[in-house]
Amino acid sequence: MIFYTIFISQNELLHLKKKLNVIKNKNNKSHSTQFDVLVVGELNIDLILNGLQQFPEVGKEILADNMIYTLGSSAAIFASNLSALGVSVNYCGCIGNDDFGKKIIVDLESKGVGTENIIQTNHVKTGITVAFNFDQQRAMVTYPGAMNELNENDITDAMLSNAKHLHVSSMFLQPALKPGLPKLFKRAKDLGLTTSLDPQWDTTEKWESDWKTLLAFVDVFLPNIEELRNITKKQNVDEAVATLKDFANMIVVKKSVEGASAFYKNEITNQPAFINHEFADAIGAGDSFNAGFIREFIFDKSLKQCTELGAVCGAINTTAHGGTTAFTDLASIKKIALKKFNYILQ
């Protein structure tokens, strides 16, 4: 038997280690990918009616002072604003083969979001939400359309492997996707991704899910305070969080003008809201909070830093009508953050 001894320099050894470190490893969340984040969720157009003197009443007609026709949906607003914050984002969702669907593609691509994994169908139309804004309150009516079509099998391992983080939103608006979410999140974790979930409102108000199984695979759970109360059947936030803590990981509770609270292991961060005194509307404010939080989370920032940028982005959202209008690009976002909220965005 012949043995060979190979001598390499210290520099060559370091170079070899670097090459080995970039090899994909399903247990390593830092594997080389094209995108930072894969967003899976609903897609729809928003028709926003502003300046109402009152909410509509049956049998009566009222007038709006302003109308906005724009990209909607929780997941799409999150994806667009996260991309504007300098994060590379890919999207998987379902739209109809119609004018609404075409506008969604154009709007996402204009924000730099990858759209090649968006499914177009001829069977149903693209969804739309009509929002009625009155003062700082709103009511919404949604036609789901193609939102009902997306299911867990549509999100391939190849899509997951091409990102470092998976974000899912609006589980209750996607009945075909919802049953497969535990499997989807487990697949993502097995492939080395970090994960986040914003449940959004349940229009049936049943709030049913296998939460214990699902949240075990969710790194960041992002409900607002009313969603958390309905999911846990507890009114007190601390009690609500306590019911989930044995099987959930990080829980981040959005509380509108009262700010946000983040819970992780034994750490609690209470973040006051940044108040905008020239309020436009709050459509997408929670999704913008999510974008700020996840931007910091995927770059391993502290819980306080994540929550603080989330609050800033939620406030920036309210400086313009619609969910994405205030988030044009990173430079302009930095200017708004500094001018309006005295916050230096790195």
| Residues 177-236: tens digit of each pLDDT | 999 999 999 999 999 999 999 999 999 999 999 999 999 999 999 999 999 999 999 999
Q: What is the b/e burial string over 310-335, where b = at least 16 CB atoms within 10 angstroms of the residue's CB? A: bbbbbbbbbbbbbbbbbbeeeeebee
Task: For residue 1, tell me if it sits in a domain.
Answer: no
What residue type is assigned to position 141 of the chain? V
Task: For residue 151, tell me if it sits in a domain.
Answer: yes
CATH number reported for the structural domain that contains residue 284 in this entry:
3.40.1190.20
Task: For residue 15, tell me if it sits in a domain.
Answer: no
Evaluate if residue 26 carries a pLDDT over 90. Answer: no
- Domain encompassing residue 229: 32-43+73-126+145-341
Evaluate if residue 122 carries a pLDDT over 50. Answer: yes
- Looking at the chain, the number of H-run helices and the number of E-run strands are 11, 14
Evaluate if residue 133 carries a pLDDT over 90. Answer: no
What local confidence, expressed as pLDDT, does residue 7 receive?
41
Burial class (CB within 10 angstroms; exposed 0-12, middle 13-18, buried 19+) of 92: buried
Task: For residue 48, tell me if it sits in a domain.
Answer: no
| Residues 232-287: tens digit of each pLDDT | 999 999 999 999 999 999 999 999 999 999 999 999 999 999 999 999 888 899 99
H-state helical runs in 173-245: 181-190, 211-215, 225-232, 237-244
CA distance 312 to 285: 10
Pick from 12-16, 131-135, 218-222, 235-239: least confident: 12-16
Total tally of structural domains belonging to the chain: 1
Task: For residue 23, tell me if it sits in a domain.
Answer: no
Cβ 285 vs Cβ 240: under 8 Å: no
What local confidence, expressed as pLDDT, does residue 319 receive?
96
What local confidence, expressed as pLDDT, does residue 31 receive?
56
Task: For residue 20, tell me if it sits in a domain.
Answer: no
What residue type is assigned to position 214 of the chain? L
